[in-house]
Each structure stands twice: as C-alpha cells, then as structure tokens.
Amino acid sequence: MQLTQSAQQANRQSRRARLVDRVVSVVFLICAILLVAIILGVIYFIASQSFQVFLQGATLKGFFFGTFWDPTGEITGGAPSYGAGGLILGSVITTVCAMIIVVPFAIGTAVFFTEAAPQWLVRIMQPLIEIFTGIPSVVIGFLGLITIIPLMQKLSAPITGNLPTGGYGWASAILVLVIMVLPTTMSISIDALRSVPGSVREASLALGSTRWQLMYRAVIPACATGLGTAVVLGFTRAIGEALAVALVLGGSQIPNWPWTLAVFFQPNVNITSTIAANFQETAGAAQYAYWTLAFVLLVITLIFVSISHFLSSRSVYK
C-alpha cells in the first residue's frame, strides 16, 4: 500500500518534471526566435518608412544623383531638395579609401602575427588588439579632432590655402576609419589564419619553402575565403561608423564641382554624419528622407553580410 503510494508520488513528480521541461524548452525557443523577429523587424520598419519620401515629391533619380541635401528646405527657404548623391559618394569614398589602407596593414600584421612573430610580440599585441576592437568610436573621434585634424590642416595648407576649417573632411575621416576598422579586420584575419591546420604549414616547409613562401603560397591561399570575410566585415563596420566620422567631417553639403585634391581637406559629408546631425530635429517629409538614407545603409550592409556569409560557407577550414 505504502509502496504504491510512493510510486504514485514519484510518478507525479516525474510527470511534473517532464511538464516543466517542456514549458522551459518552449520559452527558450521563443527567446531564440526573438532574434529572428528583431532583424526582420529592423528590415520591415526601416523599409516601410523609406519609400514615403518618394510620395512627397522626391524622385529616385534626384535622390541618388542629386547633390544638394536640404530636406527641410531651410537653406534655400523654398522647396525641399532631396539630393543624397553627395552623401552616398562621401560614404563610398571614405570607406573604400580607408579599406585600401587597412587591408595590407591588417592582413600583413595578421600573417606575421600568426606565422613568424616572436612570443614576446604576440604577448603584447594580443591584448592590444582585443582592447582596440572594443574602443568607443567617439573616443577615436575625439582623438581625430585633437590630433588628426591639426595635422591635416598643416599638411593641406599648400593645397587648400590654409582655410580656418581646413583639416576637417574626408582625409581625416579616412584616417579615423582606419583606426576604427584596423583592429576588427585584423582580429578576424588572425582567427581565419589560426584555423588553417598545422599540416598545411608542415607540408610547405617539408618541400623546402622559405617562411615567406610558406605564407604567400600555402597559408594565405588556404584561408583566402576567411581573409575575404575579414575584409568584407571591415567594409561593413566602416560604412556604418557614425559618430567618430561625424565629428571630423564637419560639413553639411558636399563641396561644389569641379574638385581638386583639396576636396579631401575641406568640410564634407557622408550618410551617417548627416543622419546623426539632423535626424532628430526633423519631422514629416523631411524625416522620411533620413529613413531612406538609413535604408540605403541597411541594404549596403545586408549585401556585405550576404557576401561574407557566402565566403564563409565556401571556406575549407573553419
């Protein structure tokens, strides 16, 4: 009698435990799905806001190829003008130039770091890279304001004729982006290089290759897709970088054509700096224009993420 009672009790307990297990697993599933919901929400809400500006008088051609950005109409005092071509060009030029500088430095350092660097250098660099991947972008922006801009002003004085605003602009933004993106690209490259198994290196050395041949002919080709991912993610980070760049760009319109080299050293714009400076102060049709800019940024980053996903799905070593 007592035995059946305790058996029943045990049975009840285990049934309750199973029920709890089921409930908990469903709750956890919901948390996992929340992540998908967030990214779908981001895409949906930004896309839904971004087409409104074209119902308010902007044209597609005018938006992407126009160069006068005045969605509130307060500069001319007349009709608003939605020419985002200059902003998009600013983002593209600063990002591409920064990455041209970053890629050789990041990959060179990463290869040296994993293949040839002495132990003491690794011990110094490892924490430095980790700290720098997390350094707040505004801090780098501030550093740009107090060190890079005066330097650029001096360097560009013969070209721009020593303007009081000289130094602000694309050149400074490019250098700030280099500092922001270099650690990220480097640390992803290092991870990719470390995933190459030792047998690849041993095989190359056994064939009598020098250390440079080992890097250039064996290790780098073996993780080319991994390094490609690192570069693409660097692009993603660079094009989305906002406040640091906003601090050193310091302009509100793209300079007028015709350009000389001086265009790199005068106050200029890109997408993120314009959004950061003006988004909150606008409403209605003017604000829709900023949503369209955000959508452009979002689409660019989605393309980059897809490329990096494609590359990493093709990589041999993970």
Which residues, numbered 162-221, are part of the site for other proteins (CB under 8 A)? 179, 182-183, 186, 210-213, 215-216
Out of 170, 265, 288, 290, the residue judged to bind other proteins by CB under 8 A: 290
Residue 223 half-sphere exposure, CB side, CA atoms within 13 Å?
28
From 58-66, 74-82, 124-132, 150-158, span contacting other proteins (CB under 8 A):
124-132
Amino acid at 112: F
Amino acid at 310: F
DSSP assignments along 207-273, one per residue: TT--HHHIIIIIIHHHTHHHHHHHHHHHHHHHHH--HHHHHHHB-SSPPPSSP-GGGGGS-B--HHH
Residue 229, judged by CB atoms within 10 A of its CB (0-12, 13-18, 19+), counts as buried
Out of 139, 203, 207, 261, the residue judged to bind other proteins by CB under 8 A: 139
Give how far Cα 252 sits from Cα of 83, 86, 146, 218, 241, Å. 12, 10, 21, 48, 17
Least distance between other proteins and beta carbon 162 (Å): 20
220-239: which residues touch other proteins (CB under 8 A)? 233, 236, 239
From 80, 96, 47, select the one nearest 293 (Cα to Cα): 47
Out of 277, 282, 315, 317, the residue judged to bind other proteins by CB under 8 A: 277
Pairing of strands 81-82, 69-70: antiparallel
Please state the φ and ψ torsions of residue 143, each to the nearest 5 degrees. -60, -40
Least distance between other proteins and beta carbon 309 (Å): 6
| Contact call for residue 138 and other proteins (CB under 8 A) | yes
What does the DSSP 8-state code read for residue 146? I
Q: How many residues bind other proteins (CB under 8 A)?
A: 88
Identify which of residues 28 and 259 has a Cβ nearer to other proteins in the complex.
28
| Contact call for residue 146 and other proteins (CB under 8 A) | yes
| Contact call for residue 47 and other proteins (CB under 8 A) | no
User: With contact defined as beta carbons under 8 Å apart, do 237 and 181 qualify?
Assistant: yes
Identify which of residues 263 and 275 has a Cβ nearer to other proteins in the complex.
275
Q: Distance from CA of residue 287 to its chain's centroid?
A: 24
From 1-9, 73-81, 163-171, 274-282, span contacting other proteins (CB under 8 A):
274-282
Out of 117, 155, 205, 262, the residue judged to bind other proteins by CB under 8 A: 117
| Contact call for residue 151 and other proteins (CB under 8 A) | no
59-98: which residues touch other proteins (CB under 8 A)? none
Least distance between other proteins and beta carbon 171 (Å): 17
From 52, 51, 87, select the one nearest 284 (Cα to Cα): 52
From 79-87, 108-116, 160-168, 199-207, span contacting other proteins (CB under 8 A):
108-116
Identify which of residues 93 and 276 has a Cβ nearer to other proteins in the complex.
276
| Contact call for residue 58 and other proteins (CB under 8 A) | no
From 68-76, 220-228, 256-264, 300-308, span contacting other proteins (CB under 8 A):
300-308
Q: Helix, strand, or coil here: 283?
A: coil
Least distance between other proteins and beta carbon 178 (Å): 9
| Contact call for residue 7 and other proteins (CB under 8 A) | no
Residue 209, judged by CB atoms within 10 A of its CB (0-12, 13-18, 19+), counts as middle
